[in-house]
Structure 1
């Protein structure tokens, strides 16, 4: 999985106009890995992405999820999503992989 730049800080001056789109990963109770690639920039919506075991570079976010939700804001378009369950079976062949929701032009809540 690709890594090019360090995690962007939430304290940097990033506006929703710069990262208007939202991708949400929802865990299904089974340990899984994910990789999200965009043709713009991506940023995780938490204070400390490393604590969430998520690596975020300029164009790619990758990590693990079991339960819960992880969200990312991004610019541009979704380029690729890869989901793999704990057995190494990828979506859509595994019903245990997380679900992914992509929304474009989502205002800040």
Structure 2
């Protein structure tokens, strides 16, 4: 169990990691579903690659804004990047386009 390992847990019980997936225990890293953020395999895979690259001495880092979010419905729905609301709050000019979901050949 994580609580017995000496690593710090956050308020929700996830293993606390910094931006490089480093835990509070030197030499111990955590990725994927046991840490904060999206619970998606492709996110965990990218975190794992970053950790390996950093262990090898490279200056790799994650850009979570580039990790696609997915809802596994039929058909699937996915998106990537910041939301319209977030961009507006940051003062970024936003152009919005829409597409009726019913017009999708997979809907």
- Higher share in strand: 1
Q: TM-score, normalised by structure 2?
A: 0.24
Which has the larger Rg? 2
- Higher share in helix: 2
Q: Whose relative contact order is higher, 1 or 2, with alpha carbons under 8 Å and at least 6 apart?
A: 1
Q: TM-score, normalised by structure 1?
A: 0.24
